[in-house]
Structure 1
Amino acid sequence: MRFGVNHTPSVGWFHSWLDFSASDTARDMEAIASLGADHVRIFPLWPVVQPNRTLIRKQALADVATVVDIAGSFGLDVNVDALQGHLSSFDFVPSWLDSWHRRNMFTDPDVVASTAAYVEALAAAVADRPNLLGITIGNEVNQFAHAPHPSPHDITAEQGHAWAAAMVAAARRGLSSGGSGAVGLEARHASAPPVAGSAGSRPEPLVTVAQYDAAWYDDAQPFGPEHAADHGDATVTHSWVFNGSATLHGALGPGSVRHGEYLLQLAAAWNRDPARPNWLQEVGAPTNVVDPADAASFTEQTIRHVLDAQNVLGVTWWCSHDVSRSLADFPELEYDLGLFTNDGRLKPAGEAFAALAREHGSRAGAGTAATPAPTTTGLVLDDVLADGTTRYGLRADCAPGGRFAAAWLALAETDPDGRGPQVVLRSRLGDAGLLAARGITRCVDVPADLDGTALSVAHPATMP
């Protein structure tokens, strides 16, 4: 499994893109590499790169490419996020989308075309870098589509599909046609392997669409599970236990330390291709619900549970460095999420991450334990009604405290191997080939009474 870190610059936070420093970046990347990580995720600010709808700054693109090169010099692959978008409670939306120029970012034809041009240009600027892991369309852009955003850009699910498809196509155009010439610094560390499932020493970069967990838990959010599973090359999840998990279960309770594992299993149920990778692209130990004294244990338990999930591309921890206390107006929890302090001291959570990366990560080398066979039990998620129509309330049922979430956790906690069950959509129960490919030999229903620990076998899987 791949181990990575979301890079929060230690000097100037993401505002550092305004006065980019290669030396500051190199210091951060060297620290990240010292953890045994094999990749980083970086976040150029959208308004900095595209301050006008028809202006994409060449220097800003060059700065992004330089960061990719610097990371490569320390053996790190890089995933580049395009639309920031939203970071740590702050929105970074270009002025041509706001106030007097307010237009719907998902449906206005001129905006969609200009945004796609930016995504394509960004992808092209780094396309020839051998350590490019991929392009993510944006950081939790679905938060702009519905409440609790104070000024959402309203869309339908169908419009969300059209927007996501347009952005993925733009990224792929950039990757196929781009490249700025010389690669520059030595990029790929000899011990950092290609992305799982790729061929050759230079894997095809991934294109992904990232959403925050309302996509899985909020029935009113127009971006849903299908948008995550149907677009791009991997299904991305972001796991944060301040969503109610830690309140319900305690910071170190099973429902908290298994939340990342649960989201990965839930995501896998929506994949049409059973071999599609699943990526835990954000997970962290938020101090508003996880005591700093528990952060190392939370980190270790979270990652150990993720190790046994199916087709996991990797885990990318949020984040590399704490936010400097000299910067104002962040929510309190945002200041202390780093694996390093702002001045570069490794924290206990960072030590826990590093130990696991060195034991299980892609840079661990020979002797790393093989990925276990998938758990053979599938818990059935009622995604459709008797007439075949989509069931409203489906996502709420999956949210922390929901009936399905409780049933999954009950099964996970009683499994003799300590592994959570796979998730199977009821609409796909008849697909014997899909079940066989996922290694599922029995499917069980959510019981009417969740007080017990036993779930009855409802649908023996028909194996070919």
Structure 2
Amino acid sequence: MPPAVRFGVNYTPSEGWFHHWLDFDLDSVRADLDSIAALGLDHVRVFPLWPYFQPNRTLIRPRAVEQLVALADAAAERGLDVNVDGLQGHLSSFDFLPAWTRTWHRRNLFTDPDVLDGQETLLRTLAAALADRPNFIGMTLGNEVNQFSAGPHPDPDRATPDEIDSWLGRMLAACEEGAPGRLHLHAEYDATWYQDDQPFTPGQAARHGAVTAVHSWVFNGTAQRYGRTSVPSEHHAAWLVELSKAWAGDPHRPVWLQEVGAPAPLVPPEHAAAFTEATVANALDCPDLWGITWWCSHDVARSLADFPELEYGLGLLTNDRKPKDTALVLERAARGPSSTPAGRGTALVVPADPAVRSRCAPGGPVFEAFFRLVADGARPTAVLDTRAGDPEHLAARGITETVTPDQVLEGGTRS
């Protein structure tokens, strides 16, 4: 039997947001973790802010590392495993990059030799500090670091796909050196799957690291175009899970739905529970799902300024640690019986060329075709056009028929 799907939450401290590292209060952290564990969840993803942990390229603050370990130990006491994002990076519309990479010290995050040395050292140090903790899942390189590599970022660190490939390999190797055998991975926002000029490619996402991570947000045009109760909105997370499988080398590579949430006002608070229930149920219908990690644990305090409005209310719990209706939905799923979804025999053919990946984005013909199939009652997956005629590949994935977007949208014959 495959392992049960993991259920967790991205830990947003109820006091001080991620700035809590500046005034670390272990009692407050413990109270937050108590409220998370009470929901029956089994892991948290935590975010040490890069400038606070490595304010100088050759200085990693020992006290900050000790606090991270203390948080992990407090989580273990409550039955929670911990995944750590190393390079923060970017969170909730704010960039957190150390001064030694910006302005007067402007250096490329993905290609500068000194920056790479510093990043490598930080990742190895954090991984090594947690390597002997049984509840340490592993490292994620950073949160959606691909947003630094291209537009719409206002000051991108440009790199080629080959340079990103090298960066990923080197950083993941540093994590493995620090904590051998753990689940080390990288994670990007959906420009990897949808943006033609994004140097982080789908192939990299699906082949580097121990699992593939997808981050699903319907404010990317899905909810705006199709509506909050539409098939595309309620199945968007499942789409990214299945789309990612097209590029994987392992036919049963695990996929981690590492970020997903119910963003207001596109999903109004009174409808957030229904959206959560549908999103979780549809994701659980995807074979080889490693886990679902909701964004996020606690609301952002209204006393903190300048966040986008949607960020303040994304928590499963309020600032005083009271569960919302969305928390109860996730709790039911986490405590419910586990089951193994059936395989998906119908595969939609998607382009292997990353230069046309926008065809898979909201409004694109591949996206439209996938959800036409879903609306018609099918349970499709995805296969690259370069593999659609490979019987061995199709058999390994349990695919019994393939269909092109044109055939779906024009009502043609499947093969």
Superposed displacement of residue 342, structure 1: 1.1
The one-letter amino acid paired with 2:396 is: A
When residues 371 and 337 of structure 1 are mapped into structure 2, their CA distance, relative to the original with a 3 A threshold, is same
In the other structure, the counterpart of 1:405 is: 367
Name structure 1 gaps, 5 residues minimum: 177-203, 360-367, 384-389, 459-464
Partner of 1:424: 383
Task: Name the CA distance, whole Å, in 1 between partners of 2:22 and 2:258.
Answer: 25
Regions of 4+ moved over 3 Å: none
Q: Does 1:333 align with 2:310?
A: yes
CA gap of 1:57–1:26, structure 2 versus 1, over 3 A, is same
* Residue type at the aligned position of 1:161: D
Question: 1:304 matched to which residue of 2?
Answer: 281
Is 2:355 aligned against 1:392? yes
| 1:405-458 residue CA offsets vs partner (Å, 9 max, x unmatched) | 01000111212xxx53010001112432322121111111112572x6x55212
The answer to which of 52-61 and 315-324 deviates more is 52-61
Contact kept? 2:407, 2:413, Cα under 8 Å: no
Distance 1:120 1:128 in 2: 14
2 CA distance for matches of 1:97 and 1:354?
41
Give the fraction of aligned pairs with identical amino acids, expressed as a percent: 51
What letter corresponds to residue 63 of structure 1 in structure 2? Q
TM-score (norm 1): 0.87
Distance 1:260 1:153 in 2: 28
Query: What is the distance in 2 between the residues matched to 1:40 and 1:282?
Result: 12
Match in the other structure for 1:456: 413
Task: Note if contact 1:242-1:288 (Cα within 8 Å) is conserved in structure 2.
Answer: no
Q: Is the 8 A contact 1:5 1:41 kept in 2?
A: yes
Distance 1:307 1:157 in 2: 32
> Which structure 2 residues correspond to residues 178-327 of structure 1 after superposition, within 5 A?
204-327=181-304
Q: Aligned to 1:392, what secondary structure does the other structure show? A: helix
Instruction: Tell me whether 439-448 or 36-45 shows the greater mean CA deviation.
Output: 439-448
> Does structure 2 retain, via aligned residues, the 8 Å contact 1:261–1:420?
no
Distance 1:402 1:128 in 2: 46
Q: TM-score with structure 2 length normalisation?
A: 0.97
Question: Which amino acid counterpart does residue 128 of structure 1 have in structure 2?
Answer: D
| Displacement after TM superposition at 1:148 (Å) | 1.0
**Is 2:135 the partner of 1:173?**
no
Q: Does 1:37 align with 2:41?
A: yes
- Residue 108 of structure 1 aligns to which amino acid in structure 2? D
Query: Within 2, Cα distance between the matches of 1:370 and 1:439?
Result: 18
Cα deviation 1:237-285 (Å, max 9, x = unaligned):
0000000000111112111010000000001111111121100000000
RMSD: 1.2
Deviations along 1:332-352, whole A, 9 cap, x unmatched? 000000000111111111111
In the alignment, which of 55, 66, 73 is matched to residue 69 of structure 1? 73
Q: Find the aligned partners of 1:156 and 1:6 in 2 and give their Cα distance.
A: 30
Number of aligned pairs? 411
Q: Does residue 370 of structure 1 match 2:339?
A: yes
CA gap of 1:82–1:145, structure 2 versus 1, over 3 A, is same
Q: CA deviation at 1:128?
A: 0.7
Q: Does structure 1 residue 379 correspond to structure 2 residue 338?
A: no
